[in-house]
Amino acid sequence: MKNFVSIADVADVQLLIEMGLNYKNNPLADHTLGNGKRLGLVFLNPSMRTRISTQLAAQNLGMEVIVFNVGQDGWSLEFGDGVMDGTSVEHVKDAAPVLGQYFDVLGLRTFPSLKNRDEDYSELVIQQFVNYAGIPVVSLESATLHPLQSLADLITITETFNEKRKPKVVLTWAPHIKPLPQCVANSFAQWMTVWGRAEFVVTHPEGYTLDEKFTNGAAITTNQDEALAGADFVYVKNWSSYTEYGKILNTDRSWMLTAEKLKLTNKARVMHCLPVRRNLELSAEVLDSPASIVTQQAANRVWAAQAVLAKILQCKFNPVRGARGVYE
Amino acid sequence: MKNFVSIADVADVQLLIEMGLNYKNNPLADHTLGNGKRLGLVFLNPSMRTRISTQLAAQNLGMEVIVFNVGQDGWSLEFGDGVMDGTSVEHVKDAAPVLGQYFDVLGLRTFPSLKNRDEDYSELVIQQFVNYAGIPVVSLESATLHPLQSLADLITITETFNEKRKPKVVLTWAPHIKPLPQCVANSFAQWMTVWGRAEFVVTHPEGYTLDEKFTNGAAITTNQDEALAGADFVYVKNWSSYTEYGKILNTDRSWMLTAEKLKLTNKARVMHCLPVRRNLELSAEVLDSPASIVTQQAANRVWAAQAVLAKILQCKFNPVRGARGVYE
Amino acid sequence: MKNFVSIADVADVQLLIEMGLNYKNNPLADHTLGNGKRLGLVFLNPSMRTRISTQLAAQNLGMEVIVFNVGQDGWSLEFGDGVMDGTSVEHVKDAAPVLGQYFDVLGLRTFPSLKNRDEDYSELVIQQFVNYAGIPVVSLESATLHPLQSLADLITITETFNEKRKPKVVLTWAPHIKPLPQCVANSFAQWMTVWGRAEFVVTHPEGYTLDEKFTNGAAITTNQDEALAGADFVYVKNWSSYTEYGKILNTDRSWMLTAEKLKLTNKARVMHCLPVRRNLELSAEVLDSPASIVTQQAANRVWAAQAVLAKILQCKFNPVRGARGVYE
């Protein structure tokens, strides 16, 4: 695997899930695989779980990790082609090749603007790093996707569901007071449909249809009760509108997942990527009940990241570090 | 020792002091004790000495350390039970169990609001982390106490005073222009009275009486000169009012410790936890004289933290990580 | 070498360049030299390349590194002698000795005010750390100099130029929209003139004359074309005025280095310390051409830092840690 910015980079999803589960049983199984290799974690936006779990994963593989937090005012990057006489102090074409010289693998966290859909959905930022860093790039969440989260989610479903049939997995929109990215929902939908080992349903109010390239033919309904019926897993998540980009169209709090609604399901386990707004997205009663597996999900972020880093380290790539006057 | 949030967690204060002194003589005596163990240091508030000294202590024990700085706007925690439709993005009930999954020991730094005394003195924040993290929690200073500082202070007094009699130790209030927490004063008073190996006196102006549960029967006077007479150690520290909570009641700069006042003492060594306001709390003349042992005190923070971490690592605890759907 | 705050600390510049080139060929040649030694990197101002490259260099030498970012509002230092009743919370006389207790080597990043030339050019901040830390201090860029950058620059010129004659090296001022420090220009001029293995020319518009103590008799001209003629290396860099201190006197964008201007040179390689403003300081066409060696320069920061740290570690110094009541 050369990069990990979406599921398109993954040759075998099931193998990656199993690698994650193996590392969970034996965290130090490959504790020398990353010796002498350096992981740079560059955060253009804040992060808690991703930041810590990826560091732990790298340490388990014997890699050295350096974290670089891009301050809000410290290092605003330029992506355009004009004269740099504004507030951006460095062009990605100049910054990325340098990071490519310092590290063997680069993790990058960035968020969408939620203003300009075309720009966000072109994944301008992470793609430029892929283009110019010359080393493998791992998404720590980008403008439209969060593949490390999705891999952890599939690991969680796999280890929790022990029946022979396919589980029914429902992704349900939840209320929120802030316009959030579509990343987690897009990514989960994409991984579920490509993986294909579950009956997958998406439910959301009118106006919250996700980009079809990610839902990928999944069953979609605006009737939440219908969707929840017989579910084995309910993934709760808010997202802002894709069609009326970045807007909050619905404030109907009846979409919150409650213990009452959970009765419609097949004793479903409840998932959320965290952070979660209690009593807004999900009732405290559900979160504090045995139905909730949100902590388990977050813990599995370590094994997802470890599987991805291991797959990249195993790959015999010949980095072409940058395009201009760069040497090995 | 399961947690270290106050002296109540310590079975044997003298033993902890001696462990610290042993580590000072031989920093790497237990350099494999923490192998494979991870310390997470979570800072809700800024820190310099505590941050660095705790990292050094953990490294001396062979632990891996990950530092997580909670940005001012990045991760405001919720502690209440209502609907999370305000500015807080995550509830401690959801955040703490995840940290409990990632780490073996959790260090936490938090400050009081100085607005709501009941809330501050209930130690709401750190207690919730103790309740929900499911792993040992070490206070890196909390709303009302700073036990790692106090342990370093007792180590400093022990190694500096070589006579058979009990030393006279005076904690004196000092002027300041900002309302500061009572943590260092509370904690020092508590450790001195429980330890019992010194004659301990507290002196401060009217209105600065500390909470009795911490001064614990210590001698208290508003006559600074009387308190200083014959002192072997003078601990200088400002705090805001406990009774008129968080207020500055006195701006009388004559409470500053000067070389002139030091003449009243028995050639006392002068202590302060740092950072110190020169010529406001303590005269530059005193700070720059051999009487000052403030740098030694700060250096001893390493050995205090190392003793505490070692005591926790030696303990055979069975963490119950979180209360909901959490597994090992 | 005891400190590294300017070229005056370096006994043999050529030896340091060759150490850097050796480490580039064999990064782990001295991978145990720093075992048990701790490097503290204190950033009073932001940094990307310096921060990461110095960490990598220290890791290559087996040192432990702790990074401490001084928040904008977290820890404003006092340098004066008065009553500390303002916004500064700690005096350098109290902070530096503590850092000297925690670390074996201290790296410090600070910037000029660009308001008070006398204060900036006295190097008040870094000199106080040298005076009070009691351990070797490495400049990670100070108010007037950036010696780690200059050493990387000389390493880059040395490895790139293979002819027997001296190369012609031109430092040319470039337009910018913000007033920048003179550090990189001062430092490069100083290293070039002391090194003496190049024909060195400085060119800039009227009003941008650098401090003579750094240009040190170098050829200086306000005719950029004349300077560029026959150049083997062109170092592009903006700086604000030294004479009318911190001011922008010239906004003539014709000083930008373009492909057209590069034709005047002897197929010169183009250098810049980064971050660079594209199409303002340097045309994108030049930056994206094989003439640019800016990424190579940035990569060489690792080997420069490694040579400096190694030279300091090899030195048998007896630290006198602080001046007041400090012990080993």
pLDDT given for residue B317 in this prediction: 53
Instruction: State the average pLDDT over residues C297-309.
Output: 98
pLDDT given for residue B66 in this prediction: 95
Give the residue from chain C lying closest to A322, CA to CA: C295
**Residue A252: closest CA among A303, A206, A191:** A206
pLDDT given for residue A69 in this prediction: 82
Taking contacts as CB-CB distances below 8 angstroms, the residues of chain B near A280 are: 83-85
Confidence tier at A74 by pLDDT (50, 70, 90)? low
pLDDT given for residue C224 in this prediction: 98
Quote the CA–CA distance of C129 and C106 in Å, as a whole number.
9
SS (H, E, C) B196-264: CCCEEEEECCCCCCCCHHHHCCCEEECCHHHHHCCCCEEEEECCCCCCCCCCCCCCCHHHCECHHHHCC
Instruction: State the average pLDDT over residues A22-45.
Output: 95
Does residue B88 contact residue B78 with C-beta atoms inside 8 Å?
A: yes
* Chains contacting chain C through 3 or more C-beta pairs under 8 A: A, B
Contact flag A85-C177 (C-beta cutoff 8 Å): yes
**Residue B185: closest CA among B207, B166, B204, B168:** B204
pLDDT given for residue C326 in this prediction: 32
Q: B323 pLDDT exceeds 70?
A: no
The model's pTM is 0.94
Confidence tier at B321 by pLDDT (50, 70, 90)? very low
**Residue B241: closest CA among B191, B169, B188, B176:** B176
Contact flag B294-C325 (C-beta cutoff 8 Å): yes
Q: A47 pLDDT exceeds 90?
A: no
Instruction: State the average pLDDT over residues C170-179.
Output: 97
Contact flag B66-A49 (C-beta cutoff 8 Å): no
Residue bearing the bigger pLDDT, A96 or A328: A96
Question: What are the structure tokens assigned to A134, written together?
Answer: 């010359």
Taking contacts as CB-CB distances below 8 angstroms, the residues of chain C near A66 are: 52, 55-56
Confidence tier at B315 by pLDDT (50, 70, 90)? confident
**Residue C228: closest CA among C170, C271, C286:** C170
**Residue A109: closest CA among A86, A126, A121:** A126
Q: C118 pLDDT exceeds 50?
A: yes
**Residue A174: closest CA among A228, A120, A216:** A228
**Residue C39: closest CA among C133, C127, C111:** C133
pLDDT given for residue B87 in this prediction: 87
pLDDT digits (tens, 9 = 90+) for A225-250: 999 999 999 999 999 999 999 999 99
The backbone region for A230, taken as left when phi is positive above 0, alpha when psi lies in -120 to 50, beta otherwise, is: left
Give the residue from chain B lying closest to A46, CA to CA: B74
Specify the DSSP class assigned to residue A4. Answer: B
Query: How far is the alpha carbon of C281 from chain A, nearest alpha carbon, in Å?
Result: 9
Which of A126-130, A284-288, B280-284, C76-80 comes out lowest in average pLDDT? C76-80
Q: DSSP assignment of C225-260, as one string?
A: HHHHTT-SEEEEE----TTTTT------GGGSB-HH
For chains A and C, count residue pairs whose Cβ atoms are closer than 8 Å.
87
Give the residue from chain B lying closest to A176, CA to CA: B85
Nearest to B324 among A275, A280, A290 (CB): A290
pLDDT digits (tens, 9 = 90+) for B192-230: 999 999 999 999 999 999 999 999 999 999 999 999 999
Contact flag A326-C296 (C-beta cutoff 8 Å): yes
| Numbered residues of chain A with Cβ closer than 8 Å to any chain B Cβ | 46, 48-49, 51-53, 55-56, 59, 177, 269, 274-280, 284, 287-296, 298-299, 302
Contact flag C295-A91 (C-beta cutoff 8 Å): no
Contact flag C284-A95 (C-beta cutoff 8 Å): no
Query: Residue B17, SS3?
Result: helix
Instruction: State the average pLDDT over residues C176-204.
Output: 98
According to DSSP, the residues that pair with B170 across neighbouring strands are B201, B234
Taking contacts as CB-CB distances below 8 angstroms, the residues of chain B near A51 are: 68
Mutate which: C37, C70, C108, C324, vs B, most B CBs within 10 A: C324
Contact flag A75-C292 (C-beta cutoff 8 Å): no
Does residue C267 contact residue C291 with C-beta atoms inside 8 Å?
A: yes
Q: C323 pLDDT exceeds 70?
A: no
- In sequence order, the 6+-apart residues with CB closer than 8 A to the CB of B324 are A287, A288, A289, A290, A292, A294, A295, B97
pLDDT given for residue C320 in this prediction: 45
| Numbered residues of chain C with Cβ closer than 8 Å to any chain B Cβ | 38, 40, 64, 66, 68, 71, 74-75, 78, 81-85, 89-91, 93-95, 97-99, 101-102, 321-327
* Chains contacting chain B through 3 or more C-beta pairs under 8 A: A, C
Nearest to A85 among C280, C298, C299 (CB): C280
Contact flag B84-A298 (C-beta cutoff 8 Å): no
According to DSSP, the residues that pair with C77 across neighbouring strands are C90
Query: How far is the alpha carbon of A180 from chain B, nearest alpha carbon, in Å?
Result: 12
Contact flag C294-A91 (C-beta cutoff 8 Å): no
Instruction: State the average pLDDT over residues A29-51.
Output: 93
Domains along the sequence of chain A with CATH: 7-145+301-314 (3.40.50.1370), 148-299 (3.40.50.1370)
Contact flag C102-B278 (C-beta cutoff 8 Å): no
Contact flag A295-B82 (C-beta cutoff 8 Å): no
Give the residue from chain C lying closest to A95, CA to CA: C275
pLDDT given for residue C316 in this prediction: 64
Contact flag B288-C93 (C-beta cutoff 8 Å): yes
pLDDT digits (tens, 9 = 90+) for C258-284: 999 999 999 999 999 999 999 999 999
pLDDT given for residue B72 in this prediction: 52
Question: What are the structure tokens assigned to B113, written together?
Answer: 């609001």
pLDDT digits (tens, 9 = 90+) for B84-132: 999 888 999 999 999 999 999 999 999 999 999 999 999 999 999 999 9
Does residue A326 contact residue C295 with C-beta atoms inside 8 Å?
A: yes
Query: How far is the alpha carbon of A76 from chain C, nearest alpha carbon, in Å?
Result: 11
pLDDT given for residue B74 in this prediction: 53
Distances (CA, A) of B235 to A140, B157, B203, C83: 48, 11, 10, 20
Instruction: State the average pLDDT over residues B32-49.
Output: 93
Query: How far is the alpha carbon of B148 from chain A, nearest alpha carbon, in Å?
Result: 25
* Chains contacting chain A through 3 or more C-beta pairs under 8 A: B, C
Give the residue from chain B lying closest to A54, CA to CA: B102
Quote the CA–CA distance of B12 and B2 in Å, as a whole number.
14
Question: What are the structure tokens assigned to B26, written together?
Answer: 């031989």
Give the residue from chain B lying closest to A159, CA to CA: B327
Q: A256 pLDDT exceeds 70?
A: yes
Which of B59-73, C21-35, C43-57 comes out lowest in average pLDDT? B59-73
pLDDT given for residue B325 in this prediction: 30
Which of B221-230, C85-94, C152-161 comes out lowest in average pLDDT? C85-94
**Angle, CA of A137, A142 and A148, to the nearest 5°:** 70
**Residue A307: closest CA among A61, A48, A37, A139:** A61
For chains A and B, count residue pairs whose Cβ atoms are closer than 8 Å.
86
Taking contacts as CB-CB distances below 8 angstroms, the residues of chain B near A294 are: 94, 324-325
Taking contacts as CB-CB distances below 8 angstroms, the residues of chain A near C290 are: 324-325
pLDDT digits (tens, 9 = 90+) for A139-195: 999 999 999 999 999 999 999 999 999 999 999 999 999 999 999 999 999 999 999
On average, the pLDDT of chain C sits at: 94
Longest dimension (CA), chain A: 63
Quote the CA–CA distance of B201 and B170 in Å, as a whole number.
5
pLDDT given for residue A147 in this prediction: 98
Contact flag A295-B101 (C-beta cutoff 8 Å): yes
Confidence tier at C77 by pLDDT (50, 70, 90)? confident
Question: What are the structure tokens assigned to B78, written together?
Answer: 């919720």
- In sequence order, the 6+-apart residues with CB closer than 8 A to the CB of A232 are A161, A167, A168, A169, A265, A266, A268, A269
Nearest to A59 among B64, B74, B84 (CB): B64
Taking contacts as CB-CB distances below 8 angstroms, the residues of chain A near C284 are: 81, 93
pLDDT given for residue A324 in this prediction: 33
pLDDT given for residue C10 in this prediction: 97
Quote the CA–CA distance of A9 and A136 in Å, as a whole number.
11
